[in-house]
Amino acid sequence: MALFTGHVINKVDRKGRVSVPAAFRNELVKLSFPGIVLFPSPEGIPAVEGAGIDWLESLSGNFTTTNPFAPKSRKARMALFSQVERLPFDPEGRVMLTSKLMEFAGISDSVAFIGMGETFQIWQPEAGASFLDEAIADAPAEFDAMQPGSVS
């Protein structure tokens, strides 16, 4: 599975194209889909969630462990998978952000890619920096609450 680390700010051109950080691309080119999958964050924050196709396939498999026809399962699958955008890399390692995703996250001329392990988030840079500062401040308490060997 791809592993995303770091915090990078990149420009968005007037066509909505943005260069995916090289460290992220190096993880993603190994996968069956040479690009990224993005969707609006379901957490109620103005960020776009991102991952490689392998993560999305794994998540899809998690839904099959429950009754696939149960109403809650169907709604959760629909809510997530209907919003996923598959964005292939162009020859320069860029992707074309959709206006829907840019509007959702308040993105205009630059974005912040924030690594989160198996996933990453794309933010409007100032909003991302603020949220990252908050996450760093809260992290010690979260780490203290973890049981050895059970990072989740």
Which tens digits make up the pLDDT trace of 82-109?
Answer: 899 999 999 999 999 999 999 999 999 9
Whole-model pTM: value is 0.87
Residue found by looking up tokens 């169907």 in the block: 74
Task: Produce one character per residue of 76-108: b if its CB has 16 or more CB atoms within 10 Å, e if not.
Answer: ebeebeeebbebebeeebbbebeeebbebbebe
Task: Provide the CATH number for the domain formed by 7-132 in this structure.
Answer: 3.40.1550.20
CB 117 within 8 A of CB 4: yes
How confident is the model at residue 146, as a pLDDT?
66
Read off the amino acid at residue 1: M
* Over residues 117-124, mean pLDDT: 97
**Rounded CA gap, 135 and 105, in Å?**
18
Out of 60-64, 67-71, 145-149, pick the least confident. Answer: 145-149
